[in-house]
Chain A
Amino acid sequence: MIFRRAVRGALVAGAAVLLTGAADVPTVFDNDETALILSHGPWPEKTGPDPSNRVSGKPAAIAYGRTLFESTDLSIDRQRSCATCHQENLAFTDGIARGFGIARVDRNTPPLFNMRLNRWFGWDGKSDSLWAQSIAPILDTRELGMTPDTLKARIKATPPLADGYRQIFGAAPAAHDAETVMVNIAKAMAAFQETIVSGRSSFDEFRDALAAKDADAIAAYPAPAKRGLKLFIGKGRCDLCHFGANFTNGEFHDIGLPHFPEPGRVDKGRYGGIQLLRKSKFNLLGPYNDDALRATAGFTRHVRLTTKNWGEFRVPSLREVARTAPYMHDGSKATLKDVVDHYSEIPEDRLHQDGEKLLKPLNLTDREKADLVAFLRTL
């Protein structure tokens, strides 16, 4: 290998020799960097059932939830289902900038991996549980366009769905009021979505090799990804928000993107999300939380609404990120390269004046950008 590199270097022009030489310098991680890398695992994280959802983790509910997730009977025109936008072969996204159900929505369709690890759901965090979030597209007139009454009628009139409901919830849908039926349907769908967990990545193999000091396995991780990782935890400071095994802090930040879905109409982001959360009867402080002690409601009870929440959107997990293009809350970045370009040349004057003094243009070189993308592709 060394010999071949030397020959190749001798055969190309001087600048290229310098580039090749730099590329071949092994990336070494010091103790602090190693500790940071190890903090991104192990993967997968262990999770248990959701205490706010009494059918969470139950196999029958999971199977029923999958049926509901894929059923067009849950849309007013019977033309679409949850799986229309959350397509399994597209990492449970739709591959387009902004989702399209009955009509186009304002935001990008997020993937559904590792939902059990989320604290907030939706780009604005308007929901504090996966089951509450699952209600939103059912009722949204741009998505499935149902009402509690039409949903109950559909479940009653569709034998497989009515039978499944009775089996999971112990009574026919006719025995429950429409709102209860809707919440139960959402809880079954949440039980299914909780089972969508991203697999181990080549980064996880590298991370575990580093923990085990396995030199051969460490060497197997591509050099550009190692350099990108060093940037991710170093100069890029990406891991200030994208930390932990799920590569997110689960919270909200303004990263200098426009928040006007169309001229004259603003997407309030987290500010609107907190307002909706507080108004919702389906939040964890409300009557439908199956956790009688409300121990699950701590974040909801204490969440703070401030002007800085305008234009903030949820920090997404980076797991499987290579498969979830386009990116950002509005799908405005088509590729990972575009995302890295954004952080490299971030418009400081666009950031909220009350916002964080954290984001600065990274001014990355082309090589650094390529390395960062190479790293992201290993997650």
Chain B
Amino acid sequence: MRKILSGTVLGASLAIAGPALADHCPTDTLAALPAQLADGGTAIAYKTDPAKIEVGKPFSIEVVACVEGEKRMAPSRIRVDAGMPMHGHGMNYTPSERKIGPGHSAFEGLVFHMPGHWQITFDVYEGDKRQRLTQKISIKR
């Protein structure tokens, strides 16, 4: 189940991550990135900076992604983007990635330029295989 968050991404409001994340991600990273999503054997933990996303203001997202399996703790690539599905458009800015470690990156330069319902997409790649995780978020004026 996905919840629509309001501006602030709160770990407590997301009880989605299952054993996949806990088994395959470093626990110290999990503690630092409390918002979590998991689906199809892929899991991520993330946080935004600032914690409360404001309309028209740039923000960044730090993400750690993990993939289920014996030797596949870190995925080969992560991509973060966002859009307003109901309006049919994305962001006017392309986030840049700053790698922090294996499966661990910060994406900078995101801007929600309108109020309303946004959806953040986290694409986690293992080779050519992509798993997409999404988070809906409501941004007020």
- Does A206 belong to the interface (CB within 8 Å)? no
B115 touches A304 (CB 8 A): no
Tell me if B101 is interfacial: C-beta within 8 Å of chain A. no
Q: Which residues of B contact A239 (CB under 8 A)?
A: 141
Beta-carbon nearest neighbor of B88 in chain A: A357
Give the docked Cα–Cα distance between A276 and B9 (Å).
Answer: 36
User: Does B129 sit at the interface, judged by CB under 8 A?
Assistant: no
Whether, in the assembled complex, B92 has its beta carbon less than 8 Å from a beta carbon of chain A, the answer is: yes
Contact residue among B55, B58, B90, B91 (Cβ-Cβ distance under 8 Å from A249)? B55
Interface hub of A250, A302, A357 (most chain B Cβ within 10 A) = A302
Distance, CA A302 to CA B109, complexed state (A): 6
Tell me, in angstroms, the Cα distance from A304 to B92 when the chains sit together. 5
- Say yes or no for B86: interface residue by CB 8 A criterion: yes
Count of chain A to chain B residue pairs whose CB atoms are closer than 8 Å in the complex = 62
CB distance from A47 to the nearest CB of B (A): 15
Tell me which residues across on chain B come within 8 A of A250, comparing CB atoms.
56, 113
Q: Does A243 contact B (CB under 8 A)?
A: yes
Chain B nearest CB, measured from A298 CB (Å): 6
Report yes or no: A304 in contact with B88, Cβ–Cβ below 8 A.
no
- Is A355 close to B, CB under 8 A? yes
A154: Cβ under 8 A from any B Cβ: no
Considering the complex, give the chain A residue whose CB is closest to the CB of B58.
Answer: A298
Give B55 Cβ to nearest chain A Cβ, in Å: 7
**Is A301 an interface position by the 8 A CB rule?**
yes
List residues of chain B with CB within 8 A of the CB of A304: 90-94
Are B56 and A249 in contact (CB-based, < 8 A)? yes
Question: Does A291 interact with chain B (Cβ within 8 Å)?
Answer: no
Contact of B34 with A by CB under 8 A: no
Tell me the A139-193 residues at the B interface (CB within 8 Å).
none
Check if A252 sits within 8 Å of B86, measured CB to CB: no
Tell me whether B116 is interfacial, beta carbon within 8 Å: yes
Query: At the interface, is chain B mostly helix, strand, loop or mixed?
Result: loop
Considering the complex, give the chain B residue whose CB is closest to the CB of A312. Answer: B92
B103 within 8 A of A: no
Closest beta carbon of chain A to B89's beta carbon, Å: 5
A303 is an interface residue with CB less than 8 A from chain B: yes
Distance in Å: Cβ of A165 to nearest Cβ of chain B: 35
For the complex, is A70 an interface residue (Cβ under 8 Å from B)?
no
Residues of B within 8 A of A244 (CB): 55-56, 141
Q: Report if B71 contacts A (CB, 8 A).
A: no
Judge whether A240 is part of the interface by a CB distance below 8 angstroms. yes
B27: A residues at CB distance < 8 A: none
Given known A-B contacts A302-B94, A303-B93, A357-B86, A39 and B141 have beta carbons under 8 A apart: yes
Query: Does residue B75 face the partner (Cβ distance < 8 Å to A)?
Result: no
Measured CB to CB, the closest approach of chain B to A105, in angstroms, equals 25
Q: Which of B92, B95, B113 has the most CB of A within 10 A?
A: B92
Chain B proximity of A220: nearest CB distance (Å):
25
List residues of chain B with CB within 8 A of the CB of A39.
141
A260 CB-CB contact with B under 8 Å: no
How distant is the Cα of A303 from the Cα of B93 in the complex, in angstroms? Answer: 4
CB distance from B50 to the nearest CB of A (A): 14
**A303 CA / B116 CA spacing, docked (Å):** 21
The distance from the CB of A270 to the nearest CB of chain B, in whole angstroms, is 9
> Quick check: B96 and A302 within 8 Å, CB to CB?
yes
A251 at the interface (CB under 8 A from B): yes
Residues on B with C-beta less than 8 A from A298 are 58, 108-109
A residues less than 8 Å from B90 (CB atoms)? 304, 306
Which residue of B is nearest A359, CB measured? B87
Nearest-CB residue, chain A, relative to B56: A249
Please judge, given known A-B contacts A250-B56, A299-B93, whether A243 and B141 are in contact too, CB under 8 Å: yes
Choice from A36, A306, A355 contacting B88 with Cβ under 8 Å: A355
| Interchain CB contact under 8 A, B113 and A251 | yes
Given contacts A240-B114, A356-B87, A357-B87, are A302 and B141 in contact (CB under 8 A)?
Answer: no
A 340-379 to B, binary, CB cutoff 8 A, 1 in contact else 0: 0000000000000001111000000000000000000000
A243 nearest CB neighbor, chain B only = B141
Please provide the chain B residues from 69 to 120 with a CB less than 8 Å away from any CB of chain A in the complex.
86-96, 108-109, 111, 113-116
Binding site for A on B (CB under 8 A): 55-56, 58, 86-96, 108-109, 111, 113-116, 141
In the complex, 28 of the A-B residue pairs with CB atoms within 8 angstroms, ordered by the A residue number, are A36-B141, A39-B141, A239-B141, A240-B116, A241-B114, A243-B56, A244-B141, A249-B55, A250-B56, A250-B113, A251-B92, A252-B92, A299-B93, A299-B111, A301-B96, A302-B94, A302-B95, A302-B108, A302-B109, A303-B93, A304-B90, A304-B92, A304-B93, A355-B89, A356-B89, A357-B87, A357-B88, A358-B87
Interface residues of A (CB under 8 A from B): 36, 39, 239-241, 243-244, 249-252, 298-299, 301-304, 306, 308, 355-358
